[in-house]
Structure 1
Amino acid sequence: MLGWALLFLVVAIVAGIFGFFGIVSAAVGVAKVLFFVFLILFVISLIFGRRSKA
């Protein structure tokens, strides 16, 4: 998921270089959402992954 967020960030940067500002705002929005979903899932996996099975 972090890879997808980075992909959309690169798309936004390239679109910004070429002047497609509508695409930039959409790609940045998607990248932000994916990044925050990644962070939430990462924290949840850290919390629940540390439990011992004993």
Structure 2
Amino acid sequence: MAIENEEIEVLEISFTGAFKMIETEEIADVRTIVRLEYAQIKGVYSKYYYSSC
């Protein structure tokens, strides 16, 4: 649920780029990290074209 005056930044990046952003702590939100890890475990990202950020 969005909070009033909350700023949400939406980025369209590759899975590879997202995992690099986790390593550099540019992505630090636990929910986002867990969802990306889940997608990696389930092989979801392998269905899509991905390259470096």
TM-score (norm. length: structure 1): 0.36
Higher relative contact order (Cα pairs below 8 Å, separated by 6+ residues):
2
From the two aligned structures, give the one with the greater helix fraction.
1
TM-score (norm. length: structure 2): 0.37
Q: Which has the larger radius of gyration?
A: 1
